Chain A
Amino acid sequence: MASSFLSKLWFWPRFFWRQLTSMRNALILLLLLAVAAVPGSVYPQRSADPNGVKFFYDNEPELAAVLDQLQLFDVYTSVWFSAIYILLFVSLAGCVLPRTKIHFEALRARPVQTPKNLERMPEYLSEAGDSSVLESAMVVLKKRGFRIDRQQESISSEKGYAKETGNLVFHYSLVGVLLAVGFGGGFSFSGQRVLVEGDTFVNNLASYDSFSPGALFNEGQLEPFSLTLDEFDVVYDLANRANIGQPIDFVASVSADFGQTQTTSDIRVNYPLAAPGANVYLTGNGFAPVVTVFDGDGNISYQGPIVFLPQDSNMTSLGVIKAPDALPEQLGIIAFFYPTAEKLTTGAYTSIYPDPISPLMTMNVYTGNLGLDSGIPRNAYALDTTNMEMIAGRDGPVAAIELEVGQSADLPDGLGSVRFDGLLRFASLDVAHNPGGIWVLLFAALSLVSLTMSLMVPRRRVWVRLVPGGKIEFAALSRRDDPNLPQVLEEIVQEIRSGSKK
């Protein structure tokens, strides 16, 4: 009674386990995984395209909120996506572990008993012969790498265990990939830093403009090193008329201090610098005009390079200068930079070439309250002009200020002056490390090798039997599709024949 109760209790878990680890379910889970991955390519993903998500929220806030509830902006970390792949991998383990045991046993066991009815095998030949054929068959099959079992009047042989080995290793390497992705992601980090020519960056948390660590990251992973951007160079295509102005290379020349060693090196797109504990990648670039702002009292209220954000392919760039200490009032400037300026008929400027051939900076100048004291963090690349008054600029009381390199201009009403001292470039650098990467690669490579093995190695059984009355039977069977089986059996029989005649 008790045992029947127990078996009833066990029925459902066992039932579910059987279901989960069935081939049919593995297939369904795979298809589900493929389908579940689709929305991540339709909707912007926070991980890959945070601005896209923001944009979506701005345009369709209600829809965005619903999508967000369904985790459609975080598909690949969502509950439902995770559920599918976790179930899939549980199923995989439940499927592959027992098969591993069976395979180990098969590797040690002798080939199967020769079937009674060889004629039923997919490949079958028979001819007259005697026991010398069996002796010869032993030699030939052995030479061909078959595992052989002599069973009285027959030989049972099998070859291609590597197929199953490959299949199992393949599935295990997928588990390896998943684990490496998980752990690696936990300890990974990437930090962004904009560096103007001449500036130095020291690798610690405080010097990053933005930083995204994995869940298990600790600050000790940041090895102390420093980088100075000596020069940033853009190479343009000058050889081909149709491509004039196309950049063909970006080169950040840096001096690196790795503690023990000092080197100089170039960082280029596709060619990161290997620093201690991280790679340093080049992700962007632009102009950083050097500007001095004098206030009404003649004091320097700002001096230095300003990072200008590129706005188009000809490097029209936008920068913001804030002089909170200027007297009598704070000064704010929205500046445009045109590397090769050309005046349009409307009076506005545009840049017609990305390299600085005739560089020009125009400035809209504001006075008033910059709003820096309110405690709300302000974007360095934007100027909040709500509490400010335009004193020079398009549609302002005085036209916008225009400066070439080396020129300076007075601000109206004796509020000070500005000077365009020189032109530098900046590079956006990404310092990133994922310790799992190499393991993901190793497991992926292993999966590729074992997959190839599993798919290409044929697993074949060959039998030879002496039938009373002087007849010899040959038969072959292959697991799965094997177009060459007839030919292989033919060859084996040929070799056996010639062997037995000797």
Chain B
Amino acid sequence: MTEVVLNEPLSQVSLLFVSSALAFLALALVLFSFQLVKLSTVEAVSSEAKAASSGSIMVDEKIATDKMTATERAGFILLWVSTAILGVGVVLRGVAAGRVPWANMYEFSISGAFLILLVYLTALKIKDLRFIATFITGFALITVFAAVSLFYVEVQTIMPALQSYWLVIHVVVAIMATGFLAVAAGMHIAYLLKASDRARKLFSHFPELLQLERIAYRFNVVGFVLWSFTLIAGAVWAERAWHRYWGWDTKEVWTFIIWVLYAGYLHAMATRGWNGKRAAWLGLVAFLSVIFNFTIVNLFFKGLHVYSGL
């Protein structure tokens, strides 16, 4: 491997971008939450009004769900801006390190948050998924915040075990899978909120349950295929790096568990009486396992995947 000259000043500039993306994300989250609350009150009022048999507020309901309010528009502009800034931060980090920017937890986190936002914003162009903006922004915010506050490490040259093109393939697909699964998890949350008896009114402006379920399914399907690839690519890499393709290392165990949980979710969606709430819970548990795998397993479990950089 040729020697790489790290560019530390540039990595500081990168950190500056990542941190300011954090500020924009926080602003966007405030706006989205504000919008969510406003919508739910409009909904609540309108349904009460409906109950009181006055038709005049019905118009509001239509506006609330279909047209973007100024608050919402501002939120999405901020979200685009923060994604762009974060993207610059990620790219600069890669340039500073002279390699792909996903070799330790800080880097996985910022690249992952960027990709999740990108998947979401791209999906928005195809389908109206505005209603989960709060979840996605919140998730990205937490991820980037954790990256900057908990996981931050200076740029480093990577250890020989990571010097492989499999780092590029295996990890980038894993991050992409996480992006799709995260959007699906947002749908699951939306579904469960809407389906719960107490909160039904609050989330009445969300799409119909059946639609939420279908969107979640579609994102999970793509995520599952990508995750399957991640698992296989990981095994191929392990054969090169650790002399066996599978050894039940903690990280391998959790990748397997996640895969089986999502296979279970897909089965549930095809089993009578198991779709709906149960499948949504299962999908959510599966996604929590993805998060668990990335945080707790990386940081606290013993294993060969000691790449957190911490």
B214 touching A481, Cβ below 8 Å = yes
B6 touching A432, Cβ below 8 Å = no
B91 within 8 Å of A (CB atoms)? no
Within 8 A of A (CB), among B268-300: 268, 270-274, 282, 297
Q: Mark A36-51, 1 if CB is under 8 A from B, else 0.
A: 0110111011011100
Which among B8, B250, B273 is the interface contact of A242 at CB below 8 angstroms?
B8
Interface residues on B, range: 35 or more
A238 within 8 Å of B (CB atoms)? yes
Complex CA distance for A30 and B224, rounded to whole angstroms: 15
Say yes or no: A242-B154 contact (C-beta < 8 A), given A269-B161, A270-B164.
Answer: yes
Complex CA distance for A298 and B303, rounded to whole angstroms: 50
Say yes or no: A47-B248 contact (C-beta < 8 A), given A23-B271, A37-B260, A249-B160.
Answer: yes
Q: Which stretch from A322-330, A436-444, A487-495 is at the chain B interface?
A: A436-444
> Given the complex, which residues of B lie within 8 Å of A389, measured CB to CB?
none
A357 within 8 Å of B (CB atoms)? no
> Given the complex, which residues of A lie within 8 Å of B267, measured CB to CB?
23, 26-27, 30
Complex CA distance for A481 and B1, rounded to whole angstroms: 48
CB nearest neighbor in A for B217: A481
B277 vs chain A, min Cβ distance (A): 15
Which among A246, A281, A440 is the interface contact of B243 at CB below 8 angstroms?
A281
B243 touching A48, Cβ below 8 Å = no
> Given the complex, which residues of A lie within 8 Å of B73, measured CB to CB?
none
B234 vs chain A, min Cβ distance (A): 11
A195 vs chain B, min Cβ distance (A): 16
A31 vs chain B, min Cβ distance (A): 5
> Given the complex, which residues of A lie within 8 Å of B157, measured CB to CB?
237, 240, 243, 246, 248
Complex CA distance for A41 and B257, rounded to whole angstroms: 10
CB nearest neighbor in B for A29: B264
> Given the complex, which residues of B lie within 8 Å of A451, measured CB to CB?
224-225, 228
> Given the complex, which residues of A lie within 8 Å of B5, measured CB to CB?
239-240
**Best-buried of A27, A268, A283, A444 by chain B (most CB within 10 Å):** A27
A35 vs chain B, min Cβ distance (A): 8
A440 touching B245, Cβ below 8 Å = yes
B3 touching A34, Cβ below 8 Å = no
B263 within 8 Å of A (CB atoms)? yes
A101 within 8 Å of B (CB atoms)? no
CB nearest neighbor in A for B273: A24
A203 within 8 Å of B (CB atoms)? no
B249 touching A48, Cβ below 8 Å = yes
B64 within 8 Å of A (CB atoms)? no
B1 touching A235, Cβ below 8 Å = yes
CB nearest neighbor in A for B250: A41
A436 vs chain B, min Cβ distance (A): 9
> Given the complex, which residues of B lie within 8 Å of A181, measured CB to CB?
246
B301 touching A41, Cβ below 8 Å = yes
B243 touching A38, Cβ below 8 Å = no
B240 touching A271, Cβ below 8 Å = yes
A34 touching B297, Cβ below 8 Å = no
> Given the complex, which residues of A lie within 8 Å of B246, measured CB to CB?
181
Q: Mark A155-191, 1 if CB is under 8 A from B, else 0.
A: 0000000000000000000000000010000000010
A287 within 8 Å of B (CB atoms)? no
Which among A432, A440, A452, A483 is the interface contact of B225 at CB below 8 angstroms?
A452
A129 within 8 Å of B (CB atoms)? no
> Given the complex, which residues of A lie within 8 Å of B217, measured CB to CB?
481
> Given the complex, which residues of B lie within 8 Å of A502, measured CB to CB?
none
Which among B1, B232, B263 is the interface contact of A444 at CB below 8 angstroms?
B232
Within 8 A of A (CB), among B226-259: 228-229, 232, 235-236, 239-241, 243-250, 253-254, 256-257
Q: A235-B1, A270-B166, A441-B235 are in contact. List 20 more A-B contacts (CB 8 A).
A: A27-B264, A27-B274, A31-B261, A37-B260, A41-B254, A47-B247, A181-B246, A239-B6, A240-B5, A243-B156, A248-B1, A248-B4, A248-B160, A270-B160, A270-B163, A437-B239, A440-B235, A441-B245, A444-B235, A448-B232
Which B residues lie at the A interface, using CB under 8 A?
1, 3-6, 8, 154, 156-161, 163-164, 166, 214, 217-218, 221, 224-225, 228-229, 232, 235-236, 239-241, 243-250, 253-254, 256-257, 260-261, 263-264, 267-268, 270-274, 282, 297, 301-303
Q: Could you list 23 examples of A-B contacts with CB < 8 Å?
A: A26-B267, A30-B260, A34-B264, A41-B253, A41-B254, A47-B247, A47-B248, A181-B246, A240-B5, A240-B157, A246-B156, A246-B157, A248-B4, A248-B159, A270-B240, A272-B240, A430-B243, A434-B244, A441-B236, A447-B228, A448-B225, A480-B270, A481-B214
